[in-house]
Amino acid sequence: MEKQRDKKEKKFRINYQLMVQHLPFFLFLSGLAVVYIYNGHNSDKIIKSISRTNKELRELQFEYKTLKSEVMFRSKQTEIAKTVAPLGLMELTTPPVVIKKDAGQK
């Protein structure tokens, strides 16, 4: 009965030689864990960067649309007339005169 107990103890006992023998595998697993953690942090950083860039792009699109509508409004004929009225410029009420050159003159 004592022999059976010794065999069971040997099966479950971890000895120094066994640990040294499997040390490279444990180091490999540790390296894998470090790489996995680094990959998670790196992907979080990239996602934050993409989110920040999308937010900035959205703001620039809004600004572009606002400025475009403002330019379109200010380039209307009536708005231009209101803007240049203090300078003394007015719209022509008579059609322009076409000056034709005679064929005989150079």
pLDDT in tens, 3-15: 666 665 666 566 7
pTM: predicted TM-score of the whole model, two decimal places: 0.57
Between the alpha carbon of residue 85 and those of residues 1, 74, 89, 90, 101, the distances in Å are: 117, 14, 5, 6, 34
More confidently predicted of 6 and 61: 61
pLDDT at res. 92 = 84
Structure tokens at 85: 């009225």
pLDDT at 2 over 90: no
